[in-house]
Amino acid sequence: MKLIIDDAHIDQIRKIYEYYPVDGVTTNPTILAKSGRQPYEVLKEIREFIGAKAELHVQVTAREAEGMVEDAHRIIQELGKNTFVKIPSVPEGFKAMMALHHEGVKLTATAIYTPMQAFLAAKAGADYAAPYINRIDNMGYNGVKVAKDIHDIFRNNGLQTEVLAASFKNSQQLLELCEYGVGASTVSPDVIFALVKNKAITSAIDDFIADFEGLVGAGKTMKDC
């Protein structure tokens, strides 16, 4: 499973890249708005930092298919061909996906709440389909199960589209999808930082170091022996 950062704050992205083996960055209009900066200013900075080969996902904001296609062309022009254009999984979006797929544009179908949305997006040419795990939970359904069902639908129908699970509230949701083998998950920095934030882990490391320093002296490490 690919692990992708769901954020547009470059300081957070830099910190995560320093410590964690991640595969790229996803954004959406709300995330860009929270940065308080102009969209392409932020996105170009992210692209420059993560490099041309890393995945960057950027969403169109037009409501009609023709406008979505125009948005997609501008996104690719500004950010490179390895940028995945996020298209909402609605009728106008499916129309745009089919047109852009024929052009060879990489596509992420977004705003997915149901397996049939994902199935239609896959048929329209999407490379990824992004179900909103926590938002589905908040509607009274099981977001993790929906993502698993979508993954099974893709495999059972010979579709190459991968699940890109989004909208996580905790690491347990992420773990379940990792165990299931979905294609990718995009996760906010706070959830990523919490993946190994555990008092038991910290305590075990402190005990090891204390025992070692008791043997060789305070502040010494293996290089000093």
Q: In this predicted model, what pLDDT tens digit does every residue of 98-156 receive, in sequence order? A: 999 999 999 999 999 999 999 999 999 999 999 999 999 999 999 999 999 999 999 99
**Terminal Cα distance for the chain, rounded:** 40
142 and 49 in a common domain = yes
Q: Please, are residues 35 and 11 in contact by the beta-carbon 8 Å criterion? A: no
Residue 200 has a pLDDT of 83
User: Could you tell me the pLDDT band of residue 213, with boundaries at 50, 70 and 90?
Assistant: confident
Q: What's the pLDDT at 150?
A: 98
DSSP element (H, E) containing 169? none
Q: Is 222 in the same domain as 141?
A: no
* 213 and 182 within one domain: no
Question: What letter would DSSP give residue 127?
Answer: S
Residue-averaged pLDDT of the chain: 95
Assess whether 153 and 220 both reside in one domain.
no
Q: Are residues 39 and 126 in the same domain?
A: yes
Q: Which domain holds residue 217?
A: 195-225
The enclosing domain of 132 has a CATH number of 3.20.20.70
CA 195 vs CA 24, 41, 154, 191: distances in Å: 17, 30, 28, 6
Question: Do 117 and 214 fall within a single domain?
Answer: no
pTM of the model: 0.92
Same structural domain, 147 and 202: no
Q: Which residues are catalytic?
A: 86
Same domain, 222 and 120: no
Question: Looking at the predicted structure, is the pLDDT value of residue 27 above 90?
Answer: yes
134 and 162 both lie in a single domain: yes
Q: What is the pLDDT, as a whole number, of residue 93? A: 98
DSSP string, 13-34: HHHHHHHS---EEE--HHHHHH
Number of structural domains in the chain? 2
Domain identity same for 33 and 70:
yes
Q: What is the pLDDT of residue 180?
A: 97
- Determine the Cα–Cα distance for residues 180 and 1; give it in Å rounded to an integer: 9
- Whether residues 182 and 157 share a domain: the answer is yes
Q: Are residues 144 and 205 in the same domain?
A: no
